[in-house]
Amino acid sequence: MNRTKRCIVFILLLLISVAHLKSQDVQEDNVYRIITRQGNEFIGTVVSENQDVIVLKTTAFGEVTIRKEDIRRQVIISADRFKDGEFWPDNPQSTRYLWTPNGYALEKGEAYYQNIWVLYNQVSLGVTENFSISAGLIPTLLLGAEAMPLWVVPKFSIPIEKNKVNMSAGAFIGTVAGEETGGFGIAFGTLTLGDRDNNVNLGLGWGFADGRWADFPVINLGIMYRVSPRGYFISENYYINLFDEGFGIISAGGRRIIGTVGLDFALAIPLVAGMDRLIALPFLGFTVPLNGKHSRGN
């Protein structure tokens, strides 16, 4: 074998060896999050795996053997979800504050269910990377009423600069089933500055009912700030002008991530001219992912 052939063989063997080592490194460096059907959660690297079980090396519990039939969700966690060695799960509802949407979009196929004070029920689905649709109802029929509010919320999201500047436009379109009335709702546009964990949002919305539009837009300011691996500060604020009378609503609260569920809570304070006392109204809601698409560490 001449020198040229030996060089070619050496280079090929070197490339094969490097590729083999890289594949081993990727396998060993992958960090998995496994949630069992019993609700247990384990984070670690795979030690061994067969068709029946997976052995995970974790920091908190050492080596853990998990039967595959007990696994409800298994996802690879990206490196940016760890800070100082601690896992920071994804925001379970990064496209909304307490109720108001922002400029971010759901991933294609991502879905979640939102409930506010038991009666408000809404399901949202990412149809494409930039379009989502939500549908909801208040089941007043279960309370003996003869009419029931229903709504849909189409939303287009426009990423201006990834993870920094996002815009969206859409509409909350509602009706009351069982009553002969026209539709109602609000057409909105938003501008969001910041990433999915820390951002500020300015929104404008024009209300409509029975074919008539409001003379003044609703102005919304939303703030989201991550304070811990599983906690957020959230503030949602409004200025509303009705019949040439303006008033505001300010709120302060937070979001707590419990497993994969987001629990939202806040106090809302109406600011109306002539009020002689301060009133704080409680807000309580939760968000549940409905599939495995929300898996950027969740």
Can you tell me the mean pLDDT for 15-41? Answer: 60
- SS3 for 30-55, per residue? CEEEEEECCCCEEEEEEEEECCCEEE
Look at residues 56, 77, 98 and tell me which one is the last residue of a structural domain.
77
The 10 Å Cβ neighbour count of residue 118 is 10
Do 134 and 265 have their domain in common? yes
Can you tell me the mean pLDDT for 25-42? Answer: 71
- Predicted pLDDT of residue 15: 43
pTM (whole model) above 0.85: no
* Average pLDDT score over the chain: 85
Look at residues 77, 96, 122 and tell me which one is the last residue of a structural domain.
77
pLDDT at 267 over 90: yes
The answer to whether residue 86 is domain-embedded is no
- Predicted pLDDT of residue 25: 37
- Predicted pLDDT of residue 292: 52
The answer to whether residue 82 is domain-embedded is no
CATH number (domain holding residue 242): 2.40.160.40
Instruction: Calculate what percentage of the chain has a pLDDT beyond 70.
Output: 88
Element (H or E) spanning 74, and its range? strand 71-77
Can you tell me the mean pLDDT for 152-164? Answer: 95
Do 151 and 199 have their domain in common? yes
CATH number (domain holding residue 37): 2.30.30.100
Do 51 and 120 have their domain in common? no
Q: How many domains would you assign to the chain?
A: 2
The answer to whether residue 103 is domain-embedded is no
Do 143 and 244 have their domain in common? yes
pLDDT at 28 over 50: no
The SS3 of residue 141 is helix
Interior/surface letters 136-154, b for 16+ CB within 10 angstroms, e for the rest: bbbebeeeeeeebbebbbe
Can you tell me the mean pLDDT for 231-259? Answer: 93
Residue 20 or residue 170, greater confidence: 170
The answer to whether residue 215 is domain-embedded is yes
The answer to whether residue 87 is domain-embedded is no
Do 161 and 207 have their domain in common? yes
- Predicted pLDDT of residue 204: 97
- Predicted pLDDT of residue 282: 97
- Predicted pLDDT of residue 296: 43
- Predicted pLDDT of residue 151: 97
For the stretch 37-77, pLDDT in tens is: 887 888 888 888 888 889 988 877 888 889 888 888 787 87
Can you tell me the mean pLDDT for 198-219? Answer: 94
Look at residues 58, 77, 96 and tell me which one is the last residue of a structural domain.
77
pLDDT at 266 over 50: yes
Which range of residues forms the domain containing residue 22?
3-77
- Predicted pLDDT of residue 72: 81
Do 12 and 60 have their domain in common? yes
Give the residue among 211, 266, 221, 220 at the shortest CA–CA distance from 240.
220
Q: How crowded is the C-beta side of 236, counted as CA atoms within 13 Å?
A: 19
For the stretch 2-20, pLDDT in tens is: 554 554 455 445 444 434 4
pLDDT at 238 over 50: yes
Do 149 and 42 have their domain in common? no
- Predicted pLDDT of residue 17: 47
Do 25 and 173 have their domain in common? no
Do 127 and 274 have their domain in common? yes
Do 145 and 248 have their domain in common? yes
- Predicted pLDDT of residue 38: 81
What's the one-letter identity of residue 272?
Answer: V
Q: Are strands 71-77 and 31-36 parallel, antiparallel or unpaired?
A: antiparallel
For the stretch 115-150, pLDDT in tens is: 999 999 999 999 999 999 999 999 998 888 888 999
Do 25 and 147 have their domain in common? no
Do 136 and 284 have their domain in common? yes
The answer to whether residue 104 is domain-embedded is no
The answer to whether residue 102 is domain-embedded is no
The answer to whether residue 229 is domain-embedded is yes
